[in-house]
Amino acid sequence: MTITELCLCLLTLALLFNFVLLWRVISAPAARQDSASSQPLTLAIGSTVMAVSAYRRAAVNAAPHADAFAKQALVSLPSTPTLVVFLSARCHSCRGKVPQLQQLLAAIQAVELSFWLVVIEAHDDAADFLRDSPLWPYVMSMPPEVIKYLNPRTASPFYLMLNEQRQLQASGMLDDADWQSFVEQMQAVDAELSQPSQ
C-alpha cells in the first residue's frame, strides 16, 4: 500500500467517524423529545397525591436566619382543596397567563382554595418575573423530583386541582376546557364579590 492510499484510507475513516458523530448529535434531541412525550402528561384523575412539601419563596427571601426560614418557608400540601399551577420563566405563554391568575386571586381567596404557584426552573432568579405581582406570596419552590412527580413532562402553563383528600380532580394546560370552566366559576364568584352589600 502506497503512502497516498494509506492517507486516503485514513481520510475515509475520519470522514466516516465525523459522520457517525454528526448523526448522534442530530438524533439526540429527537430521542430526548420522544422520551419526554412517552411520559404521561399528568397523574391519573382520581389518584391520591403524596403529601409533598415546598418552600414559599416570599418567606425564603424574608427570613433573616435559618430558624425563621424553617418556620416560615417550608409548607406541606394542605388537606384542603388546592390549585397548583406550574409556570416557566422561559415560557412566553406563561407570562401571558399572569394577568389572568392575578384577576382570579380574589375569588380563589374567597372560596378558600389553597393556591400554589410553582416556577419549574430551580435557579434563584427564575421567579423574578412574579416578584412584583400580587401572586408573589403564592410562589413555591420544589425539588426537581417533586415537580416531575406532579408534572411528569414539566409542562407549562400547567395545573392540578386537588380535593381535600389530595385526590386529583382535574389537570392539564391552562387553556383546556376544565381550566376555562374553573375560570368561569371564579369570575362568577368575583362578580358576586363586586355586588354592593344589601
Summarised one tens digit per residue, pLDDT across range 167-185 is: 999 999 999 999 999 999 9
pLDDT one-digit tens code per residue, 3-57: 766 555 555 655 454 544 444 545 554 444 444 456 778 889 999 999 899 988 8
pLDDT one-digit tens code per residue, 129-155: 898 899 999 999 999 999 999 999 999
Query: Three cell numbers at 54?
Result: 415546598
Q: What is the mean pLDDT of residues 87-113?
A: 94
Shared domain for 103 and 177, answered yes or no, is yes
45: in domain: no
Q: Among 100, 117, 65, which residue's Cα sits nearest to residue 187? A: 100
Shared domain for 74 and 24, answered yes or no, is no
Shared domain for 57 and 147, answered yes or no, is yes
Shared domain for 22 and 96, answered yes or no, is no
32: in domain: yes
Q: How far apart, in Å, are the Cα atoms of 27 and each of 23, 31, 39, 113, 192?
A: 6, 6, 19, 45, 55
46: in domain: no
Return the higher-pLDDT residue of 74 and 86. Answer: 86
Shared domain for 60 and 155, answered yes or no, is yes
Q: How confident is the model at residue 110 (pLDDT cuts 50, 70, 90)?
A: very high
What's the mean pLDDT when you consider all of the chain? 81
Shared domain for 65 and 93, answered yes or no, is yes
pLDDT of residue 155: 94
- If phi > 0 it is left, if psi is from -120 to 50 it is alpha, else beta; for residue 131 that is alpha
Give the range with max mean pLDDT: 23-27, 71-75, 158-162.
Answer: 158-162
The total number of structural domains in the chain stands at: 2
83: in domain: yes
In the block, residue with C-alpha cell 420522544: 34
CA–CA distance, 11 with 17 (Å, rounded to integer): 10
Shared domain for 98 and 173, answered yes or no, is yes
Shared domain for 85 and 173, answered yes or no, is yes
What is the extent of the structural domain holding 25?
1-38
Q: Among 158, 177, 167, which residue's Cα sits nearest to residue 77? A: 167
